Each structure stands twice: as structure tokens, then as C-alpha cells.
Structure 1
Amino acid sequence: MSSQGDSTDQEVGVRAELAENEGYAQRPKCFSSTLQECLFVLTATMAIGQQSFFQGAIVGVTASIGKDLNMNPAEITWINAGSSLSSGAFLLTFGKVADTFGRKILFIIGMGGFSLALLIAGFATNAIYMDVFSGIIGLFAAAVVPPAVGALGAVYEKQSKRKNRAFACFSAGNPLGFVGGMIISGIASHEYNWRASFWALAVIYALFTVLTVWTVPADGFAKTPMTYEAFQRFDILGQDWLAGDAPDGWKTGYVLALFIVGFFLLVAFIYWQSIAEHPLMPLWVWKDRNFSLLMVIFVLGFMGFSAMTFYISLYLQELKKLSALEITLRLLPMVISGILVNVACGLVLHRVSNKILTGIGAAAYTAAFLILSFMKEETVYWAFIFPAIVLVVVGADIQFNVTNMYVMSSLPSHQQSIAGGIFNTVSKLCNNLGLGIATSVRSAIASQMIPSTPAIRPYLGAYWFAAAAAGLSLFFVPFLTLGTQGGDSEKAEEQSVIIVENKFANGKGAIPDSASEATPTLGTVVAEKQ
């Protein structure tokens, strides 16, 4: 009896271990070792963080760049806005390129081009030179994000705890990249000058370009030859309409005209995508209520995030007269907060309702911006800025993780780069939109100031805008119907059924762009499950 009992206990233990392993998932077969897998995730994280690294690097030295190159305030703003705009305008294009002609080669080109553009930008001699190369830097940042997201989504195709943790690390690229760029820039500019910040970042990405060749797996799908037929599937007209928007200041007549033209081009783009045979952006994904709500909530919060990070840095430079290194030290808690939040997300996405997590993120955003809105010039750092920068990272990282995971589950494996392109296009364009609105608010307040008006008043206007946008996002959270994401294979399979069911209940019943051939229908999924 004792022997039989021991055998039963042993069998139960083995089953428990197998169940745990099944939920965690095995290392993908495309990697020869765990080291290669970890370096791949790190490389993908550096790819998604390219734009953030650049913005973090310039945020502490914008005043120095402006002084050295004799730039006016509008030209200084375009260092940041130019890279975000060019990145957002071309993300969908590069998503289509990656899924059509191959991800790995575009990944390598994007990493190498970003490094080279940074190197050349470090030799800037005037405002036009700097602003143009900021746009080129954004272009290469756009080129690398879709293949990075697509490769990650293809490697970790099935829902699992391993996928949750890989995507949590990947999602850390944006917030940690921003602060990492500030640290590198702060040290380099303190020891040398602002140009050294660009060159230091160029060296780092040159090393990761080499690493990309080894760590990124070969494309696991049949690449389309570069033929005339392939370019017919590319939807060049849709790209032209998408890239037509050109935001600027509001005081001159041509700006309003371009804004109106840009609006109609955006409408034309959406209409064309609804009738195009091979669209850049499959519109049926927006018919999923959770998808649309998550994107709206993310946009409203991230608009404020971009405005806050830019103007808190400018406040520390212009009003507090701090050096780049001193600014870096004061914003360093964002790194620690970002690491902790992303680790926590990797552990709880499959345990806690993602609706609750999204609500926590929106509340953290709103609280952070409200704290800064009541700040005064003599304010103590620990009372206002410290809690605000910690909370804003909590909001950004939670919402980035939840939204990114859901978006990547909304398109089939052969369209993962397009999925990444959709998400990152929205994030980059809302980043630019948020900064543009905040700049307009700040300029409007500054133009009406009298000598007795506190110098901090225009900055508070930007923070109030951020608080209003984040507060609005709270009203959309109750309408979400999200549960958990990831977990063991059985739950993941059920989630896949629900996601496909949502697509077919709200969509056309067939996935455009040949996806119906590669992705099982609801009936097929259920049949396989049985």
C-alpha cells in the first residue's frame, strides 16, 4: 500500500510539474540557447525603444542645442516633433514591408540606419540640419519597430506566461529607453557637450546592429519577391494619404490650410482602406470594441505623457537652471518605477483582470498630471515632481503592456508586423498631437502674461491639458470587457476562441489580405479544440 501511495504521489507531482511547464511554455525552437533568446528579447526591446532613447537623449540638452545652433523655440520643439512625426507617418508602411518582403533584413537596416543618422546629426551646424536629421532618425526608428514586433509576435505565437514575460520586457523599451537616453545624454554632455550624447547613442546602437544579425531568427514565412505584382499589393496610395498630414504652429494662414487638407487626407485614407484589396491597415480590427476602447484610453493617457515629459524637462532647464546631469538624476526614479512595473505586469497579466489594470493605469496618469498642475516655482522636488514621475510611469507601462498584448492577439501571425505598426503608429502620432496641443496651450498662456505673472504659469497649462486628457480616459474604462491575458495553454486557447469570435461577430466573416487562408475561422478553432 505504501509503495502504491508513493507512486500515486509521485505521479501527481509529475503532472503538476508538467502543468506548470505547459503554462510557462518551452523555449522556442528557433533559438539554440536561452542566452540567444534573452538577447533577442533585449534587441527587440532596444528596437522599440529607439524613439524613446532619442527623445530622452535630447530632452536634457535641448536648451544647449538651441543656444549652440541659434534655434528659436519652434525650431527646438521640432527636434522632438520631427522624429515623432516621421516615425508615426511611416510605421504602417514599414509594417507592410516587413510582412511582405521579410522582417530580419528590415530589422538590420533600421538598427544600422538609426546609428548612422545619430552619428551624422551630432555634426549639426544649424537648425535646418538638426531638424531634418531628427526626421531621418524618426524614419529609421519607424523602420525597425514593425519587424521587431512582428518577429516577437511570431516567435511567441501562443499565449503563455513565457510570452507575457517576454512582452513585459519588450514593453519596457519605451519608458526605460526614455530615461536611459537621459542618463547617457546627461553623462556625455556633462563630460563633453551635447554632440557627445548623439555619438554615444550611435555607438550603442551600432553594437546592437551587429547583435541583431545573430539573435533575430530567420523569417518563418514565404517572402514575396520584389516584383510589380508585389508592389501592386503594397497600397502606395494609402501611404500617400496617410503621410499627407503636416502639423505646425497655428498663427500663419498656410498652417490652417494644411490642417484642413490633412484632415481630408486622413478621411480619404480611412475610406481607401475600407475598399482596398490589400490595405495597409485592416479596418475590421477596429470593429472589436475592446480593441477600439483600449486604443482610445491609451491615446488619451499617452498624449499627456509626451507633453509632461517634455515640459518637466524644459521647466528644470529654464526655470531651475539645472544641468543635463542634474536633470537626469532627478528623473532617475522613472527607471526604477519602470522596471518594477514591467516586472509586475509580466507576473499579473494572466492573474488579474486587465480591465482593472487599465483603470489603475488611467488613474495613475490622472493623479500624476494633477499633482504637477498645482506646482509652484518654489516647490520642493520630493513633494510634487517625484511622486508625479513615478505615477506617470505606472500609468504608461501598465497601459502599454495591456494594449500591446491585446493588439498582437488581434491579427494572425503573418500580419504581426502590421499589428505592431498599427499600435506604434497610433502611439507616435498621439505623442506628436499631445505635444502640439500642449505647446499651443503653453504659447497662448505665455502670450497673455504680464510682469507679475509667475513664470511657471505656461508650464501648468500644459499639465492641466494632460490631466484633462487622462481624466477623460477614465470614463471609457467601465465599457471594457477584458479578462486576463496569457496563462496556461487551455485558457489561452479559450482566449483565442473569444478573440476570433469577436472578430467574426463584429467584422466581415473573412479576414482581408489573405489572412483567412492562414488564420482558422471560429468554426475551425472550435473543431480543433474538440
Structure 2
Amino acid sequence: MARLEDDEKSIPTDRNTPAESFQDDPAGLATIELIDTNNKRPECFKSTIQEILFVLSATMAIAMSAFLTGAVTVTSASIGRSLDMTTAQITWITSALSLSSGAFLLPFGRVADLFGRKSLFVGSLFLFSIFCLAAGFSHNAMTMDVLNGVIGLFTASAVPPAVGILGVAYSKPSKRKNAAFACFSAGNPLGFAFGTIFGGVATQIVGWRGAFFLVALVFIIFTVVAFFCVPADFTAKEPLTFETLKKFDFLGTVLTVAGIGMFSAALTMGSTDGWTAPYVLSLLLIGLALIVAFVFWEMWFEYPLMPMGIWKDRNFSLVLAILVLGFSAFTMSSFFLSLYFQDVWHLSALMVAVYLLPMATNGVLVNIFAGWALHRISNKILMCAATLSFVLAFLLFALATDGQDVYWKFYFPGLLLVVVGADMEFNISNMYVMSSMPPEQQSTAGGIFQTVTKLCMTIGLALATAVFNSVQKRPALSGYWEKERQPYAAVYWSSFAFAMVSLLLVPLLTIGTQGGKERRKDGVVDDGDVGGQTAVDVTEVQTHPKQDVVDGTRPVTEMKV
């Protein structure tokens, strides 16, 4: 084993340079980021208990919309009957939530980076709880849909600061960071699964309103936990001055909110009102035009909401493309599978939750595995396994027919596989996106990532509703599926197609492990203490774009442990 001193010529680095700094040497080579291998608890936490409670609070932040969506999914039929809602109005409960959340994530990410994260995080949890409570008292469809749209604002304002604090607290790649981010990434898929369970139990006991009341209770508890356990802001906050406001992208905010809002609204209404309706076409075209204008503005503005340089990294773009396809398919199948259990099998909300329970239990196991595997197994292999799991799951859903033991033959293994795809894709993508931007832009990185996932939900539900309505109006007179089941099968086949496309993109990825040991082709570095850092065994040098604060274009080579 060669000592690090023997490799100084082949590994350009400054011993006095912190691990998180990135500088280019005179020869033009990228410096190497040394990874701290001691796996110590971050200094911002006074105890391991505080650290665990903080990670749990951050996980609940990303689970907010998924948790509520899960609760609504198993109670949608009950809500529709109680408030005399049409299918389109029922769809708008979740669509309004994802629409407003997706539109405001980027602006709130910038607000968190500029003015502080903890107060925005805790306040968002509290207001989310209050408006969930208010939604439980809704007496008509309009009130229900509008309140869920308002709730989406608070999910948008909670996630970026939570991601930002998590990213800065675990700024150095390590096994501890992998475990924290695996737990955090579990929030989205597991939030949906546990939301269905909580919603089903509450509905069975006190009715659908109880589901909203229970969600409010859960998050008011986590508001208190977050107040005491989330560390104070330890990155520089900007004062509220004119110079600071000049750094906030107001025009970009207007363009992204209006563009994403109109585009999402058009997708949602087009699936039920028809794509040729004048107002649907107008919203769709104007929304797309505003999104294009936003992209060009971000390329020019000095302090953008979204540094466009990050998209120059091919892996970054591919990872998010795979995530978009996978999560769109996941949203499509999950919503209509639950609706199928309620409307075709006539199961109660509680029994629907029981039938979906494999998603929650397997999700816990998958995320434990992800925390162990991200730094040991090539993430390209893991992403391939995730997309293949999606393909098999949606194929099982599509081929299922009504008959004896159909749940155990088709739906049970499908539910186990679908959560493998969702959790692994989310873990890999989240880790890669967060490592692509510096500490002072971690909330912005979280905003970008969550905007993509929210748009997935909107696009997925809109396309699924359009497919469902089309087949329901013109079912086949004969075939493999019963007439009542044909529209659901069509949705599952659409999900299968999305998953197949995502699987075809995986071979184009060039990512390895994240946060784990890597071996250089020209040598091995032994353990030792170097410049205050613990030296590392090097298993591979991986070029990965750590974005510059201004333009986000400079590649940096990382040495990971």
C-alpha cells in the first residue's frame, strides 16, 4: 500500500484545503475532494438523539404531500360521495396539491438559501397542519380543492429548507450521510404508503374527515419536534436589504409559477374537459411559452433560481429523466390501483390500506438496503434494478384479471416490486442532485429536485385520467379483461410503457458508487492522517460536476470513500 505522500504528483491536492473546497491547479487539472472517513456525528448536533429526530423531521417534510395524497387516495370514493364530487373534482384534490407545490418550490428554495432555513421549515410544518385541519371541515367540492391547493404552498415551502439543512449538515460524503439521505429519500414513497394506512384507519373509525384530522395531528407533533431538534442556521444569511433583494429572481419566480401553474392546470383539465377546449389549449400554450422564457431568463440572470449549468452534466439530465418517467408511472398506477380496489372490488378504506400495506413494509427494507448499498454497489446497477422492478410491477398489474387468488398472484408481488423501483430511483437521484451543488445552494438543489417530482405527479395523473376516460367511454366488446376493468388495465399499460423507456436510458449512465470506497486506476492510497484529514483508501476517481456558485459549469474530480 503506497502512502499518500508517494502519490502527490499523481493526485493534485492541497493538504491545507478543506474537503468541501474546490480549486483548479495551475496545470488545469481538477482538484480532488478528500472524504472524511471517521463517520463522526456532524458538529451541529449535540447528541445522536437530536440527529435522529432532525433526520426524521426532514423526512416528514418531504413526506408531507405524499402522506396527504395517500390518505386522500384511500378515501377519495368516500369524499366524492359525501361532497357530491365528479371524477374530475376528485382528481383535482391531489392535482391542486401537486400543482401549487410544484410551481412554488424553486422560489422557496431561493428564499431559504438567502434568508434562513429553520424558521421557514418549522413555520411551514405548522401551517400545513392548520390547513389540513381546515380541509377536514370542507362541505363542498370547491372548498376541498382550493384548500388542498393552499396546502401545496406549505409543502413547497417546507421541503427546500429541510433539504438545505440536511445537505449542509452532511456536506462531506460518508456512510453516515448515505444513511441520513436514505432515510430522507424514504419520505416520498413511504409517506404515500403510510398515508394510505392512516387514512384508511381514520376513515373506518370516524369517516373521511378523520383522515385530514389525523394528518394534522401527526404534523403538529413534528412541528414541535422540529422546533427543538432542527439546528440553527449555520450558513450565512443575507440581511433584508435592497442589495439582497436584487439577488432574488423576481421575474424568474413569476415565469416559473405562472408557467408551471398554467401547464399543470391544462394537463389536469385536458384529461377531463377535452384537449380541444379553447381554455385548455390556451393554458397549455401560454404555460409552455412561459417555461421556455424562464429557461432563457435563467441563462442570462446573474442570480438564477435554477443554475442552468447543472444540466450540462449528462448524468444529471439522465438521472432526472429516468426519475420523471418512473415517478410519473408510479403515480399513475398507485392512484388508479387504489381506486380499483374501492370501485371494482368495493373494499372499505381500511381494507384498501391493508391491501397496500406491502408497499410500506417493503419500503422500509428497501431504504435500509439503499443506505448500505449506495457506497458499495455501482449506482448504475442499482438504477437498472429499480427501473426493471417498475417494468415487472406494472406488467403484473396490467395482466391481472378478476379471479381466485389474483391479489397474491399479481398485486402482492407487484406492490413489493413497485416500491423497490420508487425508493431506489429516489435515493440515487436525490444523492446525485444534492452533490451537484455547493452548500450555499442546497435548498435550491432540493427545490429543483422536488419540482421535478411534483411535475411527475401532475403529468402522471393527467395522462392516466385521459387514458382512463378514453377507454371507459369506448371499451372493447370482448377481450382478455372484463369491461369494468379495461380502463384500469389501460392505465397500467401506460405505466409499463413509461417504465420501459426509463429502462432503455439506464445504459447511457456513467455513475458509480456515491459516498463509498473507490479505487484509482494508477494506485492505491493507504489510510493515514493528512493535514487534519483522515487519508483514504482510494478505489476509483470519479469525475462529477460540483457546481460553481455563479455559473455551475466547472467539473471537479472527487475521491470518495
Q: TM-score, normalised by structure 2?
A: 0.85
Structure 2 distance, partners of 1:149, 1:214, is: 18
1:57 to 71, 74, 79: 71
Match of residue 278 from structure 1: 303
Amino acid at match of 1:203: L
Match of residue 334 from structure 1: 359
Amino acid at match of 1:457: Q
Kindly state the Cα deviation for residue 138 of structure 1 after the two structures are TM-superposed: 1.1
Structure 2 distance, partners of 1:57, 1:443, is: 23
Structure 2 distance, partners of 1:315, 1:396, is: 21
Residue 505 of structure 2 is aligned to residue 476 of structure 1: yes
Q: Is the 8 A contact 2:36 2:172 kept in 1?
A: no
Structure 1 distance, partners of 2:540, 2:440, is: 19
1:135-150 alignment to 2 at 5 Å?
135-150=149-164
Question: What runs of 5+ residues in structure 1 fail to find an aligned partner?
Answer: 1-20, 504-509
Counterpart of 1:237 in 2: which secondary structure?
helix
Question: By percentage of residues, which structure has more helix?
Answer: 1
Kindly state the Cα deviation for residue 109 of structure 1 after the two structures are TM-superposed: 1.1
1:49-128 alignment to 2 at 5 Å?
49-128=63-142
Counterpart of 1:249 in 2: which secondary structure?
helix
Match of residue 165 from structure 2: 151
Q: Is the 8 A contact 1:23 1:487 kept in 2?
A: no
Q: Is the 8 A contact 2:202 2:214 kept in 1?
A: yes
Amino acid at match of 1:72: T
Q: Deviations over 1:142-164 (max 9, x none)?
A: 11000111100000000000000
1:325 to 347, 350, 366: 350
Residue 392 of structure 2 is aligned to residue 367 of structure 1: yes
| Length, aligned pairs only | 495
> Which stretch of the first structure deviates more once superposed, 351-360 or 173-182?
173-182
Q: Deviations over 1:187-210 (max 9, x none)?
A: 111111100110111011111101
Kindly state the Cα deviation for residue 23 of structure 1 after the two structures are TM-superposed: 2.9
Match of residue 550 from structure 2: 512
Kindly state the Cα deviation for residue 490 of structure 1 after the two structures are TM-superposed: 5.7
Structure 2 distance, partners of 1:490, 1:212, is: 35
Residue 409 of structure 2 is aligned to residue 409 of structure 1: no
Question: What runs of 5+ residues in structure 2 fail to find an aligned partner?
Answer: 1-34, 518-533
Evaluate the alpha carbon distance shift between residue 370 and residue 328 of structure 1 in structure 2; reply closer, same or farther with a 3 A threshold: same
Match of residue 8 from structure 1: none
Kindly state the Cα deviation for residue 249 of structure 1 after the two structures are TM-superposed: 2.5
Kindly state the Cα deviation for residue 497 of structure 1 after the two structures are TM-superposed: 7.2
**RMSD of Structure 2 on Structure 1 (CA):** 2.2
Match of residue 226 from structure 1: 240
Match of residue 25 from structure 1: 39
2:199 to 185, 200, 213: 185
Kindly state the Cα deviation for residue 86 of structure 1 after the two structures are TM-superposed: 0.7
Match of residue 355 from structure 1: 380
Kindly state the Cα deviation for residue 225 of structure 1 after the two structures are TM-superposed: 1.6
Match of residue 447 from structure 2: 421
Counterpart of 1:187 in 2: which secondary structure?
helix
Match of residue 162 from structure 1: 176
Q: Is the 8 A contact 2:438 2:549 kept in 1?
A: no
Q: Deviations over 1:247-287 (max 9, x none)?
A: 23222221011111111111111111111111100010010
Match of residue 249 from structure 1: 269
Evaluate the alpha carbon distance shift between residue 125 and residue 161 of structure 1 in structure 2; reply closer, same or farther with a 3 A threshold: same
Kindly state the Cα deviation for residue 496 of structure 1 after the two structures are TM-superposed: 9.0
Q: Is the 8 A contact 2:69 2:94 kept in 1?
A: yes
Kindly state the Cα deviation for residue 46 of structure 1 after the two structures are TM-superposed: 0.6
Percent identity between the two aligned chains: 48
Match of residue 499 from structure 1: 544
Match of residue 4 from structure 1: none
Match of residue 424 from structure 2: 398
Kindly state the Cα deviation for residue 175 of structure 1 after the two structures are TM-superposed: 1.3
Evaluate the alpha carbon distance shift between residue 495 and residue 424 of structure 1 in structure 2; reply closer, same or farther with a 3 A threshold: farther
